[in-house]
Chain A
Amino acid sequence: MSLMIGKPGLLTTVQDLGRFGFQKYGVIASGAMDGFALRTANLLVGNPQGAAGLEITMLGPEIWFEHTALISVCGGDLTPQLNGQPFPLWRTVLVPKGSVVTFGRMQLGCRAYLAVAGGIDVPLEINSRSTYLRAGIGGYQGRALRSGDVIPVGKSTPLGSQLLGVLVRNEEREAGAVSRWSAASSLRPAYTVSPEVRVIAGEQYKDFTADSRQCFESEVFAVLPESDRMGYRFTGSPLKLEKPAEMISTAVTFGTVQVPPGGNPIVLMADRQTTGGYPVIAQVASVDLPLLAQVNLGGKVRFRLISLEEAQHLHLQREEALQTLEIGLGSLR
């Protein structure tokens, strides 16, 4: 089975959860910007959470299905449509053969994740299917999707086939069908144009001036246009160190908030470098990375400091909810 790309949209790439285990060789992790949305979309079609899907940015593509398929779209609301009819996010959708999935206006967030039962079956490269655009690694030929690309889809899991069966039995097949089940709204990140993002103090937090620390936590920082999958650049009151220090490069990760000498913070995202040498004022709590991933250029973000305990507690809660969803779907017949 395969998908055919009609119009490619603005930036559509194949992503899984990233290329792990190779950062010690300087190999960038990449992976979905909003990993939570991709994992949920995968669960809803019976895939393993780490299967590859499509990351669709701002302006969605046109995707043709020559076979009947089971899909789910999660994350930002780019108003997906099946043969011209809108369908909801966070649910399982039966796509009859010969259908086309398109996207409309960007309603909320800026990245949608489309999972298809069986997963996008491009070859593994350095143990991942994620596209790393700068080095042309992974995904579909190491690049963003273009018009005419035929994207291979793997074999559905038994659960995926069962879910498909439920939709085929219960609904009218020709028009497609949408599941009654969905990822609960309480489970989903509270995406908004201008979110409050929870952070944990970074190693150099205490080295910033009291004023800067106060600014960081109380003021609003705007996302600059030069933000991309590598990092979000912000502008706001400049953050200053008590006394500037020469730093030695060390490992950085998804959500590391570093402050270059200019004082404008940068939050490292999916395509970040493996190491960095700027002071780290904070680290975004894992549970809030999806909020940041869905903030668009010009969005305004407020940072709020929480304890490490709280961050891990929130993280475990969300993992547990995902597990509950997985178990619930497994019991559908």
Chain B
Amino acid sequence: MVNHNPNGAGTWSGPQIHLLGDSGLVIKFGESIELETHKRIRQLSEYLEHHPFTGMTEYVPAFTTVTIYYDPWKVAAEPASADGEVRRPPFEIVKAAVLNLLLELKDTETAPPDTVRIPVCYGGDLGPDLQEVAATNGLTEEEVISFHCSGEYLVYMLGFAPGFAYLGGMSSRIATPRRQTPRLAIPAGTVGIAGEQTGVYPIETPGGWQLIGKTPIRLFVPERTPPTVLKAGDLVRFYPISRKEFDEWEESSL
């Protein structure tokens, strides 16, 4: 583990670099899920998106980290920068490149986030647990919908399933524990709540979330590039639609 410290002062705790085996490198920006940490992650991700280094395979942003995968063979194939320089192991080359990059990045601005609006038909058979979420929190179903739609949610990361977004920013007024017994198959597009989290299942999976509604939008579309509607750093807003609108939307997208 290397402590990256551009100021040379012992008190400044900058990003840390860990190695994930012989083909991965992890840049850790913080110890907890925070907006400031997320901003740094977004900044680095945006840079890597447009400036991949030789041998870089891909990068994966998460809550507190950006992981870079690389091909040691391709990294090693780069000519040494100075004459007579002893060939360093690929991870040393990558680490040095990343440290340089982090220094350069310090003051760069990121593009404004995209806001994605997601229509949801709440309750009924599409959201069988809406009543329970309301009862748990001493609210009416309409109030739950209103709280859920009033939030602006930040996509911290994607993972778990293709296109599944970990969202931050749900009101604690509608927080509800997971179901005692998980369901075996939750249809794609279902919107759920688990504890203080909310999210949308992009593909059919088993799961224990409280289901409050469903969106007619497909969040994972393999034939499209990129294959997901959401990306890390996006802002999400939900808005209610009627069952009639939902059905029409679904029909028109077939």
Chain B stretch 111-135: residues in CB contact (< 8 A) with chain A: none
Contact B164 A26 (CB under 8 A): yes
Alpha-carbon distance between A126 and B163 when the two chains are bound, in angstroms: 13
Contact B23 A286 (CB under 8 A): yes
Contact B231 A25 (CB under 8 A): yes
In the assembled complex, B69 has its CB within 8 A of some CB on chain A: yes
Given A26-B158, A203-B20, A256-B21, 15 more pairs with CB closer than 8 A: A21-B57, A200-B22, A248-B33, A248-B62, A248-B64, A250-B26, A250-B65, A253-B21, A274-B159, A275-B60, A286-B23, A308-B19, A308-B89, A309-B89, A315-B73
Q: Which residues of A contact B24 (CB under 8 A)?
A: 251, 253, 283
**Nearest CB of chain B from residue A260's CB, rounded to whole Å:** 16
B23, B32, B59, B164: the one contacting A24 at CB < 8 Å is: B59
Contact A24 B231 (CB under 8 A): yes
Stretch binding the partner chain, chosen from B138-146, B222-230, B242-250: B222-230
Chain A 5-40 interface mask (CB, 8 Å, partner B; 1/0) = 000000000000000111111111000000000000
In the assembled complex, A249 has its CB within 8 A of some CB on chain B: yes
Q: Which residues of B contact A92 (CB under 8 A)?
A: none
Chain B stretch 56-113: residues in CB contact (< 8 A) with chain A: 57-65, 67, 69, 72-73, 76, 89-91
Q: Which residues of B contact A203 (CB under 8 A)?
A: 18, 20, 26
Chain A 245-261 interface mask (CB, 8 Å, partner B; 1/0) = 00011111101100000
Alpha-carbon distance between A137 and B63 when the two chains are bound, in angstroms: 27
Say whether chain A's binding surface is mostly helix, strand, loop, or mixed.
Answer: mixed
Contact B160 A26 (CB under 8 A): yes
Contact B58 A21 (CB under 8 A): yes
Contact B20 A256 (CB under 8 A): yes
Contact B232 A319 (CB under 8 A): no
A25, A273, A285, A315: the one contacting B163 at CB < 8 Å is: A25
Chain A stretch 134-157: residues in CB contact (< 8 A) with chain B: 135, 137
The 9 sampled A-B contact pairs (Cβ below 8 Å) are: A24-B58, A24-B158, A26-B228, A125-B223, A200-B19, A203-B20, A249-B159, A251-B62, A311-B21
Contact B157 A308 (CB under 8 A): no
B32, B72, B162: the one contacting A25 at CB < 8 Å is: B162
Query: B-contacting residues of A (Cβ < 8 Å)?
Result: 20-28, 125-126, 135, 137, 200, 202-203, 248-253, 255-256, 273-275, 280, 283-286, 308-309, 311-313, 315-316, 319
Contact A255 B21 (CB under 8 A): yes
Q: Which residues of A contact B90 (CB under 8 A)?
A: 312, 316
In the assembled complex, B43 has its CB within 8 A of some CB on chain A: no
Query: A-contacting residues of B (Cβ < 8 Å)?
Result: 18-24, 26, 32-33, 45, 57-65, 67, 69, 72-73, 76, 89-91, 157-164, 166, 202-203, 220, 222-223, 226-228, 231-232
Q: Which residues of B contact A252 (CB under 8 A)?
A: 20
A23, A275, A280: the one contacting B58 at CB < 8 Å is: A23
Alpha-carbon distance between A20 and B222 when the two chains are bound, in angstroms: 14
Contact A316 B231 (CB under 8 A): no
Alpha-carbon distance between A182 and B32 when the two chains are bound, in angstroms: 53
Residue of A nearest to B232 (CB): A24
Contact B21 A26 (CB under 8 A): no
Residue of B nearest to A200 (CB): B21
**Nearest CB of chain B from residue A262's CB, rounded to whole Å:** 18
**Nearest CB of chain A from residue B212's CB, rounded to whole Å:** 22
Q: Which residues of A contact B57 (CB under 8 A)?
A: 20-21
Contact A251 B60 (CB under 8 A): yes
Contact A275 B162 (CB under 8 A): no
Residue of B nearest to A198 (CB): B22
Q: Which residues of B contact A284 (CB under 8 A)?
A: 21
Q: Which residues of A contact B22 (CB under 8 A)?
A: 200, 283, 285-286, 308, 311-312, 315
Contact A22 B226 (CB under 8 A): yes
Alpha-carbon distance between A313 and B69 when the two chains are bound, in angstroms: 17
Q: Which residues of A contact B32 (CB under 8 A)?
A: 248
Q: Which residues of B contact A311 (CB under 8 A)?
A: 21-22
Given the known A-B contacts A20-B58, A249-B63, are A316 and B72 also in contact in the complex, defined by CB atoms under 8 Å?
A: yes
Contact B72 A312 (CB under 8 A): yes
Q: Which residues of B contact A126 (CB under 8 A)?
A: 222, 227
Alpha-carbon distance between A275 and B160 when the two chains are bound, in angstroms: 7
Contact A250 B62 (CB under 8 A): yes
Q: Which residues of A contact B58 (CB under 8 A)?
A: 20-24
Residue of B nearest to A282 (CB): B21
Residue of B nearest to A206 (CB): B1
Alpha-carbon distance between A21 and B49 when the two chains are bound, in angstroms: 10
